[in-house]
Each structure stands twice: as structure tokens, then as C-alpha cells.
Amino acid sequence: MKRLSLIGLMGCALLATLSAQGVLILPDDGMPSDRRIPFRERRPILLKEHTVRVLIRDNLAETTIEQLFVNESPIALEAEYWFPMPRDAAVSGLTMTVDDRTVEAKLLPADETRRIYESFVRREQDPALLEFVGHNLLRLRVFPVPANGSRRIALRYAQTLPREGATVHYHLPLRATRAAARPVERVRVEVEAQTRQPLTSFYSPSHPEVWVQRPAPNRARMHWEAQNLTMERDLHLYFSSTANPYDLQLFTYRAGGDGYFMALFTPNPEQRAERLPKHLVFVFDRTGSMAGEKIEQAKAAFKYCLNNLQPNDKFNLIVFSEQATPLFERLVPATREQVQRALKYVDSLQAQGGTNIYEALRMAFQSLPIERTPALRAIVFLTDGLPTVGERDPNQILKMTREQNPSRAIRMFNFGVGYDVNVHLLDQLAEAHRGASEYVRPEENIEAKVSRFYDRISLPLLTDLRLRIEGVETYEVYPVELPDLFAGDQLIVVGRYRGIGRATVHLAGQERNRWAQVRQSVAFPARSDAMDFLPRLWAARKIGYLLNEWRLNRNEEVRAEIIRLAQEYGIVTQFTAFLIEEDMILAREELRMRRALSAPSGFGGAPASGRTAVDQSQTAAQLSYPIQGYQYTTPNLIRAAEALQLGALALGDVAPVEQVVQRVRNLGERTFYRKGAQWIDSRYNADEKLPVIEVAAFSDAYFQLLERMPKLRPYLTLGDEVLLRLEKVVIQIGNQGKTRLTEAEWKQIQGVASAK
């Protein structure tokens, strides 16, 4: 009998280490057989491309996976292709092709695949393969892969998606192994969902950075693409459809102690509710520093906004340098004549003079009177510099705007262009007036960013949102203050809860002529462990909120809480980067922090201007971002979400993402840090003096542990040296340890089999 070795690998997860969708198995006589060479280093077949296309019709999904394998050896290799099937896939819907030929596949049941994969793991000493245990396995013969050639394999299967209440869940098992020799060159995932009723909530907690489009009320498209990345996230997608004007869905997670919850609130795209009119004042910086390409882009951006005003909107335009000058004496209706006048005025502007921010903002707030007519009242402020004329103290500027807007009925949306802006001032203005700040870096296009923002706020639906939950105790809910909701937005609220049972969720907001209210009875269970992404999502939101607090007001208690949360949940900030890069990064980070703290600051915290200030502001905002908007995903938000899923979101350039990926793993609700060759559970604390049971990797005890406690399997796929904390005992997997466990030891372990 020929000895087999597991060779090539698998498809790709969407954002962290490489995960597989298919496996190639080769006879050893077709490749070098020197067993001294580590298995992962002697693999001649590599996965080059991985493409997934998914079509969902209500709760029926058809998934097509296409993979391109490349043989880098100088000889042709014959192989078998093995694929771990999702447990709920309909086998009758399977087709498989190799190049242009349809080939016969055999489906092996889960009990047989367990025996096969355990033998692979023992022989190849590769715990990553444990991901496949428990799956049905599809196997087929692959024609020889030519020397220095390639073979393309396509697979299609259908499945009925589980539904819980009104919510449908789609799971694409991408993270199946970490045995790949190097990253996949190209990964692409496309999902299209179609429903009979209007499609409302559409959310991927595993990939919040995906690009989502809504071409019709009953359809949504999701797209993600990357090059040369290693990843380890399965794709999870939740969606619902309803004929109600607003859709409210609630998800919970509780595996011991207090629970976590997430509420998704989404307007029905087909609702006929009358949109709130907008009363906007555009404040345009025309100072000398805006000369050249910047002012031309800024002019184009404001012209885009003006051209997209609606007939029931009102507006004004204020330009400033040393002085502020309004175009109109007061707000005017957005008639064709008034808009054309504003467009011509913008065309005529030239960059010159100093920067009088105080006077420009004072005039803007005074030109927005509070009327009885419901409307979204907002200032859109664009500047590229620090205040140089008139009042230059940021605290006095902020104080003046608060006095002008005590009820906070006027929103403020800010655009800082370049790095020579007072980031703290713009962020404080946005926070004080319930708006947001965006920053346009030197290499970015002003027109594109401003127009994309304006598209989002062009159709306001609800303002002054209020959330109340009755029946259980909720706490640490983020965002602390709910934002306004626009057409295409999806509000995401996360928090903690105590108690169990039914509770009532109330959400209300101001429409044009009335208060809209949504009321729903939901269950807060004593145990719910399916949605293990919720703890980390909640922690990220809280850290984002705390980072803003520390950044603007530097408080050591806040800093200590950021460090505690970041360590426990695997979210690397500027305070915890040393966990993954140890002394070198710690020294570099301390130097960077000293420089940051010695830089000018308007509010006594981190630097108020410069690239670091922009980086820190955007990172904090993106961690705490409560809105997932359709067709409104900024490149910076994508980068931040990618880093968050990698456990590598750092403020500034503390550590290369590739290095962080190698040292931090987020699996379910747990985080593991790599120290040397060992992966250590973040919940492990040597001071607790818990008993430690050492188990030899790939021994009988090792596989008995997996059989009796299958929930531990994802953690042991990390490697052959893992330190795992359970409730009252620590399991240490290593090269040495017990090969069999006594009944007394099993009782000790199984008595606490449910980890915290």
C-alpha cells in the first residue's frame, strides 16, 4: 500500500490566516520523501486563486467554489481532491469539474472522515487538519497535475439555510487549515441575496468591511477581494426580510456570567415615509493653503453637494479666510435659480488669506435658526488648516459653538484636508454637535470623499434616536449616543446584559411629521453560545469609545481599562502592541508615545495635528463605528476592519500586519498570543495557581480529549504547543506529556468541560 501525505491546500478565509476549501493528496513516490524536511516546507502544490460565488434565494443557497492549484515541482503529480462538506449541504446539488470535464465524486460520512483525518494528523504532525474532523468528506480522483503546470477545480453545492425567527444565517466554512506554505495570490467572494419580501437587515459580523450594494429593495450584493493575504475567518452572513417600515433584530451570546447582545435596526428600503428635508450650511475654507489642486477638488465636491439638493431643502454657503462671507443673508430654498447662483459663486473662488475658523463657525450656527418644521439641520465644514486669525484657542472656539447650539439640534460634519488640521478640535466639534469627522489624506481625493459622504446623508429618515430595553438589565451599551439614521444605513448597537427571560426593546426616532416607534419582544437567554463574535465586537466598540476619551483627555484609568480589554479580547492598540512584538516593538512604541505626548495638543492628550493625530482619530472612530452603510465603505474603514479581525488594530505604524497575524489568533470568543512556539490563552493567569494537565500532542490522550470535548478542537488547531485555560484546570499540549489520561484526570477535566 502506498503511503500518503497531505499536500496541497485549501481555499482561503476572508481576512486572517489561510483557510482551505479543498485538499490535494499525493502518493509519496511522486515527490521527495525526506521526512526530515518539515511537512509544510516540502509541499509542491500551492493554491494560487480562490473564488467563491453564492446565490441566495430566501433561505436556499447555491455556492460555487473555484480553486486554481499550481504544481511547482519539475514532475507531473497525480492526486486526489478532498473537500469538507458543510453539514447541511444538499448532496444532490453537487457538481464538480476539473478543467472542462465533469468528474465523479464520492461522499464519505463523518465517522469515516474522522478516522482518516486523525491518521493524517498523527502521521503529518499537523493539528490544523483537525478543522475537518466531524465534516462529511467529498473525494475524487484528479488527473495528473502537469510539471510546473496547474489544475482548476470547481465545485457547486446547494443547502437550505437555517432560520431563527425572521433571521436567516449563511455560513461559508473558509477557515479550515493553517497548513498553506504561503498566501493565496487572489481571493474573491461574491454573494447575491434575493428575497420575496423587501430585504432589510444584511450584516456580516465576520467581515464588516465588505462592500454591499442594494440594487433593488429585494436584492443585495456583497463583494470582497484581496491579494496576497493569509487569513482565518469563516464568512457569516445574517439577513432578514419584512414588509414592516423598520426591522429590528436582536442577537445574544452568553456562555457563563453576564451576556452580550447586538441589535440591528434597519429601515425597509421600500417604505414610503416622507424624507426629512435638510437645512444645510456649507462652510468652505478658501485660505492660501488651499491653493492649487486642493481648492479645485474642494470646489468640485461642493458643486456635487449643491447639484444634489432636493426641492424641499434649504441651504447657504459661507466662505472664509481672514473674514467669513455668506452667499445669502439667510437660508434659501434649493430652487434651480438659487443653486445655479451658488454654483457660479463656487466657480469664482480663489485661495488666499489666513484662517478665521471662529468667525466662520459663529456665522454658520447663527444662520441656522431652529424652526418648528422638522428637518435635519447641519453644518458641513471643510478646512485644511489650524486657526491663524481671530480667536485661535481651540477651547474658546468649542465653547462658542456650544453656546450657539445648546439644544444640540444642529449637527456638524467636518472634513479635515491634509495633516495640518487640528484633529482634536474637529473631533470635539463633531462630538459636541452629534455629527462626525472625516479626514482626507494628501494622497486621497477630496471630491470623492465629500461626495460619498453627501450621498449618505442625502436622504435622512430618523433623527434623535432613543433606545430603551425593559425586562433585563443592560449596561455598557455602545454607541453611547445614537446617530441619526439615513436611507441605506443599518444601525448596530452592542452591549452587556444581566438577567434572563423576555424583554421589550423600544426604539424611537423623529420622522418628518411624527415620532416613529418600533417595539419588539425578545428573549435574553441564560445560555446562547452560537454567536461567539459578539464579545469581541462589543469589546472593539468599547475600546473605540475609550480611545477617544484617552486621546482627548488623557486619563490613566481609561488607559488601564483599554489595556485590560485589549489583552483579553485580542484587539491590539498602541498600548498593547508589545504583546505581539515584545521588546523591540515595546521600545519603538514607548519612543513613539513620548513623541506623541510631547507634540502640541489642544486638549491635553495625544497630538492635536499631524499624521499621527489623523491616524488615531480614524482608528478610534472606526473601532466604535455604529453604522454599516450600503455603498458607503471608505478605504480607511476597510483597512481598519481588516486589522480588527486580525487582532492587529494599532494606532500608527506600530507593527506590520504580517507580524501581528503570526502572533495573535482570535478563535470564537477566545484570544491566543504566541510566545515562542507556544500559543497561550489570554485568560490564563499563572497567579491563579490552577492545576495543569500536560498532554502529549498527537497521542491517544490528545485524540480522546478532542473526542470527549469537541469544542476544544478549534483551539488545538493552532499548533502542537497550546496552553488552554478551562474553568478550574489548565490543559497544556506539547511535545511531552501524558499519552493516556486516568479516569480521575478525566473527571477533573470533564467536570469543568465547559470553558468560561
Q: What is the CATH number of the domain that holds 225?
A: 2.60.40
Q: Quick check: 240 and 250 in contact, CB under 8 A?
A: no
Domain boundary among 632, 661, 690: 661
Q: What is the mean pLDDT of residues 65-90?
A: 78
Q: What confidence tier does 582 reach under pLDDT thresholds 50, 70, 90? A: very low
Q: What is the mean pLDDT of residues 728-755?
A: 80
With H, G, I as helix, E, B as strand and everything else as coil, classify residue 695.
Answer: strand
Q: What percent of the chain has pLDDT over 90?
A: 22
Residue 72 has pLDDT above 70, yes or no: yes
At what angle are helices 635-645 and 611-623 packed, to 10 degrees?
70
Residue 508 lies in a domain: yes
With H, G, I as helix, E, B as strand and everything else as coil, classify residue 97.
Answer: strand
We report the CATH number of the domain holding residue 473 as 2.60.40.1230
Q: What confidence tier does 13 reach under pLDDT thresholds 50, 70, 90? A: very low
Query: Are 290 and 357 contained in the same domain?
Result: yes
Domain count along the chain:
5
Choice between 245 and 365, residue whose per-residue pLDDT is larger: 365
Query: Are 68 and 99 contained in the same domain?
Result: yes
Residue 756 lies in a domain: no
Residue 239 lies in a domain: no
The amino acid that residue 4 corresponds to is L
Ramachandran assignment for 647, one of left (phi > 0), alpha (psi -120 to 50 degrees), beta (any other): left
Query: Are 594 and 718 contained in the same domain?
Result: no
Residue 541 has pLDDT above 80, yes or no: yes
Question: What element of type H or E holds 209?
Answer: none
Q: What confidence tier does 589 reach under pLDDT thresholds 50, 70, 90? A: very low
Cell of 350: 480663489
- Nearby residues of 93 by Cβ (< 8 Å), 6 or more positions away: 62, 156, 157, 158, 159
Confidence at residue 42, expressed as pLDDT on a 0 to 100 scale? 44
Cell of 85: 462538506
Residue 11 has pLDDT above 60, yes or no: no
Query: Partners of 71 in the beta sheet?
Result: 45
Query: What phi, psi does 248 have (nearest 5°)?
Result: -125, 120
Query: Are 551 and 629 contained in the same domain?
Result: yes
Residue 374 has pLDDT above 50, yes or no: yes
Closest-CA residue to 514 (of 312, 245, 297, 249)? 245
Q: Quick check: 262 and 250 in contact, CB under 8 A?
A: yes
Confidence at residue 100, expressed as pLDDT on a 0 to 100 scale? 75
CA distances from 493 to 237, 666, 669 (A): 17, 22, 18
Q: What confidence tier does 754 reach under pLDDT thresholds 50, 70, 90? A: very low
Q: What confidence tier does 21 reach under pLDDT thresholds 50, 70, 90? A: low
Residue 77 has pLDDT above 70, yes or no: yes
- Nearby residues of 336 by Cβ (< 8 Å), 6 or more positions away: none
Residue 12 has pLDDT above 80, yes or no: no
Confidence at residue 468, expressed as pLDDT on a 0 to 100 scale? 92
Residue 529 lies in a domain: no
Query: Are 57 and 81 contained in the same domain?
Result: yes
Q: What confidence tier does 439 reach under pLDDT thresholds 50, 70, 90? A: confident
Confidence at residue 49, expressed as pLDDT on a 0 to 100 scale? 87
Confidence at residue 575, expressed as pLDDT on a 0 to 100 scale? 63
Residue 586 lies in a domain: yes
Confidence at residue 7, expressed as pLDDT on a 0 to 100 scale? 28
d(CA 681, CA 730): 10
Domain boundary among 638, 661, 684: 661
Range from 83-87, 213-217, 518-522 carrying the lowest mean pLDDT: 83-87
What radius of gyration, in Å, describes the C-alpha atoms of the chain?
A: 28
Query: Are 94 and 112 contained in the same domain?
Result: yes
Q: Which domain holds residue 13?
A: 4-232
Residue 121 lies in a domain: yes
We report the CATH number of the domain holding residue 401 as 3.40.50.410
Q: What confidence tier does 361 reach under pLDDT thresholds 50, 70, 90? A: very high
d(CA 715, CA 680): 10
Query: Are 432 and 369 contained in the same domain?
Result: yes
Q: What confidence tier does 318 reach under pLDDT thresholds 50, 70, 90? A: very high
Range from 79-83, 111-115, 199-203, 675-679 carrying the lowest mean pLDDT: 111-115
Q: Quick check: 411 and 383 in contact, CB under 8 A?
A: no
Domain boundary among 603, 634, 661: 661
Strands 376-383 and 410-417 turn out to be parallel
Q: What is the mean pLDDT of the chain?
A: 77
Confidence at residue 600, expressed as pLDDT on a 0 to 100 scale? 39
Range from 28-42, 174-188, 336-350, 508-522 carrying the lowest mean pLDDT: 28-42
Cα dihedral across residues 302, 305, 311, 313: positive or negative = negative
Query: Are 193 and 135 contained in the same domain?
Result: yes
Confidence at residue 90, expressed as pLDDT on a 0 to 100 scale? 63
d(CA 382, CA 43): 55
Confidence at residue 270, expressed as pLDDT on a 0 to 100 scale? 73
Query: Are 119 and 266 contained in the same domain?
Result: no
Between the ranges 354-368, 440-454, 597-611, where is the mean pLDDT highest? 354-368
Query: Partners of 50 in the beta sheet?
Result: 67, 187
Q: What percent of the chain has pLDDT over 70?
A: 76
Query: Are 374 and 263 contained in the same domain?
Result: no
Confidence at residue 134, expressed as pLDDT on a 0 to 100 scale? 61
C-alpha angle 538-540-545 in degrees, rounded to nearest 5: 100
Ramachandran assignment for 370, one of left (phi > 0), alpha (psi -120 to 50 degrees), beta (any other): beta
Residue 629 lies in a domain: yes
Query: What phi, psi does 185 have (nearest 5°)?
Result: -65, -40
d(CA 206, CA 532): 10
Closest-CA residue to 756 (of 730, 733, 732, 719)? 730
Residue 32 has pLDDT above 50, yes or no: no
Range from 275-289, 389-403, 564-578 carrying the lowest mean pLDDT: 564-578
Choice between 171 and 328, residue whose per-residue pLDDT is larger: 328
Query: Mind listing the pLDDT tens digit for each residue in 592-640?
Result: 433 333 333 433 346 777 777 777 777 777 777 666 654 333 333 333 3
Ramachandran assignment for 419, one of left (phi > 0), alpha (psi -120 to 50 degrees), beta (any other): alpha
- Nearby residues of 430 by Cβ (< 8 Å), 6 or more positions away: 412, 413, 414, 436, 437
Confidence at residue 688, expressed as pLDDT on a 0 to 100 scale? 86
Range from 87-101, 509-523, 666-680 carrying the lowest mean pLDDT: 87-101
Query: Are 655 and 680 contained in the same domain?
Result: no
Residue 420 lies in a domain: yes
Query: Are 471 and 581 contained in the same domain?
Result: no
Q: Quick check: 51 and 188 in contact, CB under 8 A?
A: yes
Q: What is the mean pLDDT of residues 656-680?
A: 72
Residue 150 has pLDDT above 70, yes or no: yes
Cα dihedral across residues 416, 422, 424, 428: positive or negative = negative
